[in-house]
Structure 1
Amino acid sequence: MKPVLIIQQVLFDTPDYFVDFLTEQKIPFEVRHMYAGELPPESIQDYSGYCMLGGPMSVNDEENFPFLRQEKELVRQALAADIPMIGHCLGGQLISTALGGTVQKALMYEIGWNPIHVIDAHAARDWFGGHTDFELFQWHNETFSVPEGAKLIASNPYCQNQAFTIGEKHIAMQFHCEVKDKKVRHWAIDEKSDIDAVLHLPSVQSSESLVASLKERIPTSNALAHVIYSRWIRNLPGLV
């Protein structure tokens, strides 16, 4: 089968459990590294699926990050060609804006393991293994709108739009279900000053608590990611 295209925007926002899962399922993939000067492909036709990861830049800042423009073009191509898409954090925002939605400042920063409530019973069964309430990792201060033709399926008190689907094949998520220990540990320690600046918010957890929670949190997070990814790959063309 054709590989899944993975766009990695920055060095430390790695694909983590997503590539573990694809490897386990024997699904080929190709990672393009924007931070290293690589570019997105011109066409999505050589790929069976399209995954976009997160990053600290704004999805609206195409002037300083021109590769975002092509990532959005690939979203439109994938939708037209019926090629499944999955967006994590900035990746979800790219799907929204490519399809006519908007991205703007969120009500407040979210940093840490925050609650998510699935607001659609079918989606709870279909995408989240029957779970309606859980906690996954978040790090963002902007939020996407739900574009026309999409369906909001998850929310929380700090950021109303947590996930939406488009038809049966595409999902955009504000949260980071892909994270593993190393990535969260790096963010918690190396970006501690950013955390401390907004630590007064109820949606932000301390660096120390994030590191202390990893042993308990990561296995649970990976288990739920496994459910989400298992649902997503069902529609990959060429999957046996």
Structure 2
Amino acid sequence: MKSVVAIRHVAFEDLGVFEPVLDELGYRIRYLDPSVLGSDALEALEVETPELMVVLGAPIGANDEALYPFLSAELDAIRRRLDSGRPLLGICLGAQLIARALGGRVFPMAEKEIGYADVGLTREGQESPLRHIGNPDTVLHWHGDMFETPPGATRLAYSHSCAHQAFAAGDTVLGLQFHLEADPLRIEQWLVGHTAELALAGVDPVEVREQARRFGADLMHRGQQTFREWLETAETAARTE
């Protein structure tokens, strides 16, 4: 059976609607929570072994090693995974950490981008698995920092306030600033878990809840299509390298 290790930082920011796709494709899921297990678990992780590695989001910054020391070990684990050439997916914080590991910058935006709003695709994005989300079309944003597309990678997506929303490094590495994995039926967990951030950003949870009801089912389908195609392409690329 194939395996995936997902580095998870808060319980509700998990693989979400990607889990049924992984089940369908024969993956056994393992979560690793560095905020619970600490840096030692990341240092001991055999990152070359799983067929897929996913680094998920969190309400902390990719440059915050001084505040959250396990991030240094996480960056090292990501670098080791990149060296292996095996499939690697980063979402939000995860994408920012991959961008850093590849030599890109991560920096604060002028304002936070939270809620369901459009994302557009570059020409390369329109030729990638991201074409399933539409161009432009609505996705879930939840971030205050932005990565720059790292050297050697390809920018795939953008939004009005965030010029770098997705990148690919070959066929085996994908970084997404937005949340295709989030389950709209569990949006309440996000609203409660990020209540302080929502208040500070002036975002109305009632509005986000209504957006999840309006856009969630269609976005879930498009997100699963995107993930399935990317993963199957990444699997093939990893086998032929």
Per the normalisation by structure 2, the TM-score is 0.88
Q: Name the stretch that deviates more: 94-103 or 129-138.
A: 129-138
Q: 1:183 to 1:61 in 2, by over 3 A?
A: farther
- Equivalent of 2:229, from 228, 231, 237? 231
- Equivalent of 2:216, from 218, 222, 227? 218
Over the matched positions of the two proteins, sequence identity in percent amounts to 24
1:229, distance to aligned residue in structure 2 (A)? 1.0
Letter in 1 for 2:179: H
Q: Secondary structure at the match of 2:98?
A: helix
Residue 128 of structure 1 is matched in structure 2 by 130
Q: 1:2 to 1:23 in 2, by over 3 A?
A: closer
In the alignment, structure 1 residue 153 sits paired with structure 2 residue 156: yes
Whether contact under 8 Å (2:92, 2:179) holds in the other structure is yes
Q: Deviations over 1:29-48 (max 9, x none)?
A: 21112232252243312111
Letter in 2 for 1:207: P
Question: Aligned Cα RMSD in Å?
Answer: 1.9
Q: Secondary structure at the match of 2:27?
A: coil
Q: 1:158 to 1:222 in 2, by over 3 A?
A: same
Matches of 1:6 and 1:232 in 2, distance apart? 16
Matches of 1:176 and 1:111 in 2, distance apart? 11
Q: 1:132 to 1:181 in 2, by over 3 A?
A: closer
Residue 85 of structure 1 is matched in structure 2 by 88
Residue 14 of structure 1 is matched in structure 2 by 14
Greater share of helix residues, 1 or 2? 2
Q: Deviations over 1:118-158 (max 9, x none)?
A: 012x4323212452211111111111111110111100111
Aligned counterparts, 1:1-240, within 5 A: 1-37=1-37, 39-40=41-42, 41-120=44-123, 122-129=124-131, 131-189=134-192, 191-199=194-202, 205-234=203-232, 235-236=234-235
Where in structure 2 are there 5+ consecutive unaligned residues?
none
Q: Name the stretch that deviates more: 173-182 or 183-192.
A: 183-192
1:110, distance to aligned residue in structure 2 (A)? 0.6
1:57, distance to aligned residue in structure 2 (A)? 1.1
Q: Name the stretch that deviates more: 186-195 or 145-154.
A: 186-195
Whether contact under 8 Å (2:4, 2:53) holds in the other structure is yes
Per the normalisation by structure 1, the TM-score is 0.88
Where in structure 1 are there 5+ consecutive unaligned residues?
200-204
Q: Secondary structure at the match of 1:11?
A: coil
